[in-house]
Structure 1
């Protein structure tokens, strides 16, 4: 299977003098096309830093990141921005949206760059995505007029507008109640089933249990991983038990 991301001996540090530390300390990781991966670990273990480094949002101090065959350290900032905009999707715990725009306009805004003459086509795709995730009736709502779960669905639509090769999610269910979190994970499963790779950073064993490979981090390194079959919708309790048992085994 083709590898969409290859990270080799990634080092990322912060601070100076006595405060200097490696948040990533020689991490190597590969993600295949269409793979569903979770990253778990205690706060400060390097989970989010790894995600930002693999996506080119953060430069690395040593090692390299290859995305879709291209070494990200060799491209200029404009090309890197285009790669992130057209081949990657990003979903965060709190979607960043503009208060002066309605839901539909927030979804299409990033896609307007370089496509200003195709507004109708872009809007049509956004409406199709909104229908897919169950928020078709909310397109004219302000972002303050929808629930957290609905806003996260809008964030997913925005991430999918460019038909990305991979979606990165940093605690995408962290601010949601259990029902909304379950529904968002159902959407992620559908997206992944269509062939889009997904990498989620999470503290939630139930979220991680919906993926197929879990990387466990501590002190800036990957200390273990767990591979489980694709989720078929029927064995979540057993899968959560596997994840929590692994967490206890490695002490995180």
Structure 2
């Protein structure tokens, strides 16, 4: 299977002088095309920092990140921004929507920079995405007029508007109730089944259990991995137990 993402001995430090510490301490890892992976670990373990490094959102001190054959460390900020906008999608715990735009306009925003003459076509794609995730009737709503689960669905639509090769999610269900969280994971699983690679940062064993491979981090390094068969909607309790057993085993 072709490698989508390669992290090679990534080091990222924060702080100055004697307070400086490596949040990522020589991390090496790979993600294949179409793979569904999770990164787990306690607060401060480096899991979100790893996601930002792999997506080119943050620079690294040493090592390299290769995405779809391109070495991110050799790219300028404008080139990185274009790469993220056209080939990556991002879903965060709290979607960062613009308050002066309605839901539809927030969704189409990432696609407008290169396609200002195709507003109608982009809007139609957005409406199809909204229909798919169950918010087709909310396009004119302000972001304050929808629930957290609906806003997260809108965030997924925005992440998909440019047909990305990979979706990054940082605690995408962290602010949702259990029912909404399950529905969001169903949507992400469907997206992955269609060939889009997905990487999720999470502390939730139920979220991680929906993925195929879980990387566990402690103190800036990956200390263990757990592989699971592709989720088929069966034996969820058994999958969660495998995740929690591994967490107990490595002490996180």
Same fold (TM over 0.5): yes
User: 1:15 deviation in Å?
Assistant: 0.3
Q: Report the alpha carbon displacement of residue 75 of structure 1 after superposing the two structures with TM.
A: 1.3
Distance in 1, matches of 2:44 and 2:193, equals 31
Hey, what does 1:49 align to over in structure 2? 49
1:60 lines up with 2:60 in the alignment:
yes
1:86 matches 2:86? yes
| 2:234 aligned partner | 234
Secondary structure at 1:8 match in 2 = strand
Correspondence for 2:101: 101
Superposed CA offset, 1:192-229 (max 9, x none):
00000000000000000000000000000000000000
User: Which runs of structure 2 are paired with 1:19-30 in the superposition (5 Å)?
Assistant: 19-30=19-30
Which consecutive residues of structure 2, in runs of 5 or more, have no partner in the other structure? none
Residues 110 and 162 of structure 2 are in contact (CA less than 8 Å); yes or no, is this contact kept in structure 1?
Answer: no
Gaps of 5+ in 1: none
1:231-250 CA distances to partner (integer Å, 9 max, x unpaired)? 00011100000000000000
Match of 1:111 in 2: 111
**Distance in 1 between the 2:52 and 2:98 partners?**
22
Give the corresponding residue for 2:139: 139
State the TM-score, normalizing by the size of structure 2: 0.99
Cα separation, 1, equivalents of 2:109 and 2:26: 37
Mapped to 1, the partners of 2:166 and 2:51 lie a distance apart of 12
Cα distance in 1 for residues equivalent to 2:143 and 2:110: 16
Aligned to 2:212: 212
Q: Distance in 2 between matches of 1:186 and 1:89?
A: 17
Size of the aligned set, in residue pairs, is 252
- Give 1:30 shift: 0.2
Residue 76 (str. 1) matches residue 76 (str. 2):
yes
Aligned Cα RMSD in Å? 0.5
| Structure 2 equivalent of residue 249 of structure 1 | 249
State the shift of 1:45 in Å: 0.1
Aligned partner of 1:169 in structure 2 is 169
Runs of 4+ in structure 1 over 2 Å off: none
Cα distance in 1 for residues equivalent to 2:104 and 2:8: 39
- Separation (CA, whole Å) in 2 of partners of 1:154 and 1:230: 26
